[in-house]
A and B are shown apart, each in its own frame.
Chain A
Amino acid sequence: MSMTTILQHCLTGISLGGAYALIAIGYTLVYGILRLINFAHGDIFMMAGYFMIFALASFPWPIAIIITLTVTTLMGIGIERAAYKPLRSAPRMSIMISAIGVSYLLQNLSTYLFTAIPRGYPEIPFLKQIFQIGTISASFVTLLTPVLTIILVIILMLLVNNTKTGMAMRAVSKDFETAQLMGININRVISATFAIGSLLAGVGSILYFTDRMSVTPFSGTLPGLKCFVAAVFGGIGNIPGAVIGGFFIGIVETLLVALGYSTYSDAFTFLLLIVMLLVRPTGLFGEKTVEKV
């Protein structure tokens, strides 16, 4: 393989990793606050794909993007309100089962509404523009994804570490009841968390599907699981960890395909999950938690 091809694949991998990272943040944020693995997150990502298809059918792309992100964010908040909030004081397993239920609901609802036949993802012309850097050529979206991911992560970290809402989020993630005693509105903080997670999944969805041509009701399943693994790999609950996990899985997966092992590229992700859980269950940057009895 020539140097050019290797670089070309690396770029593709970094780009895919960026999209994964954006989705993985959603898992990690929600887990950090609710200790819930939001199994519906991958399907929110898939729904965002459909929203974009329909929005772009009738609006110019900047408005379509805004509509897609808004609707996706609202859907995330709505799902939390309807399926998780009523279970706030229920055992953790119940809310997890509810999340699995929402995941199937979204998949089947979209199969019913949009059929299981793949729908072409519309092209946003400026994203598909081809750039030539030396011997490597890449579409604009490939270059944009990692850059945008990093910018969004920096903004998110500033928000979490330096604002009042961010402080409330960190407090709520440690201790619901005491946070309440401070006068923090728990439900609002949780809604904000789902809003941010879904918004980032929406952005990730636009970047991911622009490179993939089509959306089906099950398009969210595998990327969703992979991003969950990315979050676990980085240490679930830890934002930079999820980002690193996302990039890592994206790059390795792309390189495996490039080397001709495409059959194993998905298997790798789950092998990584198994190894990580065996060797270092808290992930790269996860903190050790002591379960209180």
Chain B
Amino acid sequence: MSSLLDIQDLKVCYGGIVALNGISFSVEEGQIVTLIGANGAGKSTTLRSIMGLVPITNGTIMYNGEKINGMDTRRIVQMGLVLVPEGRRVFPNLSTLENLKIGGYLQDKASEQRNLERVYDLFPRLKERYWQLAGTLSGGEQQMLAVGRALMANPKMIMMDEPSLGLAPLVVRDIFSIIKKVNETGVTVLLIEQNANVALRTAHQGYVMETGNITMSGPGMELLDNEEVKYAYLGKSR
């Protein structure tokens, strides 16, 4: 197996504040990898800097054998790397169908149709609601739409920023089973979560982040059994 995404010594500063203090990690092709950590650990910053939304201070980001730091977000999307942003961020003033179509903004007509069918297969609910304004969908449906919208870009790798945020436990379960299903179709997944339990259960590989550093790594189930992790993220008392 080769690394689809390889990050070396990534450093990001906001003004004088160091958000990422030279982190390194990699994502193998075909896997689900998760980054867990508390608020302010730098998880979102990691994803945003990979997408080129945040300028990086130092380090390299290799995707699919190409250096993508400093690249235009548009180019990165074109290369099949997409991000489902935190808080879903569907376009509330666009219909469900339009949201999906805009996810495939860089695709041609034929591939748009193909991707649309694939998304409707995964999320029959979105097909039922295609005419509805996205702002009127429920939280769970919006998350499905956000994932579906990302899949419209025909991605090789999809990054998700807290897909469980603000959703009921049952809906979270649904979302994660969909993430697994998406992964089984060959899409690599990088997942960011505060909900460490469900994330580690789903992931092949996990990394633990603390204030701009990666402090632990290992297979998901192994981290789940780790005493430190249990104490810090799974609510186990000492």
Contacts and interface: CB of A to CB of B under 8 A. Distances in A.
Contact of B93 (A174, A177, A181): A174
Place the interface of chain A in its size category: 10 to 19
Contacts of B73: 180-181, 183
B77 A182 contact: yes
A83 interface: no
Contact of A180 (B53, B91, B92): B53
Contacts of A185: 74
Contacts of B37: none
Contacts of B78: 183
A81 interface: no
Interface in B107-159: 149, 153
Contacts of B181: none
Given A170-B91, A174-B92, A183-B77, A164 B85 contact: no
Contacts of B85: 177-178, 181
A175 interface: yes
Given A178-B89, A184-B102, A171 B74 contact: no
A185 B93 CA distance: 19
Contact of B53 (A164, A170, A177): A177
B43 interface: no
A141 B106 CA distance: 43
A168 interface: yes
Interface of B: 51, 53, 73-74, 77-78, 82-83, 85, 89, 91-94, 98, 101-103, 105-106, 149, 153
Q: Which of A164, A175, A180, A181: most chain B Cβ within 10 A? A: A181
Q: Which of A171, A183, A184: most chain B Cβ within 10 A? A: A183
B102 A181 contact: no
A99 B103 CA distance: 33
A171 B53 contact: no
Contacts of A174: 91-94
A150 to B, nearest CB: 24
A182 B105 contact: yes
B105 A164 contact: yes
A230 to B, nearest CB: 23
A183 B92 contact: no
7 tightest A-B CB contacts, nearest first = A183-B77, A183-B106, A178-B89, A183-B74, A182-B105, A180-B73, A183-B105
Nearest to B135: A174
Given A181-B85, A182-B105, A183-B74, 7 more contacts: A164-B101, A170-B93, A175-B91, A180-B73, A183-B73, A183-B105, A183-B153
Nearest to B52: A180
9 contacts: A167-B102, A174-B93, A178-B89, A178-B91, A181-B77, A181-B85, A182-B77, A182-B153, A183-B105
A177 B91 CA distance: 11
B102 to A, nearest CB: 5
A19 B16 CA distance: 51
A22 to B, nearest CB: 24
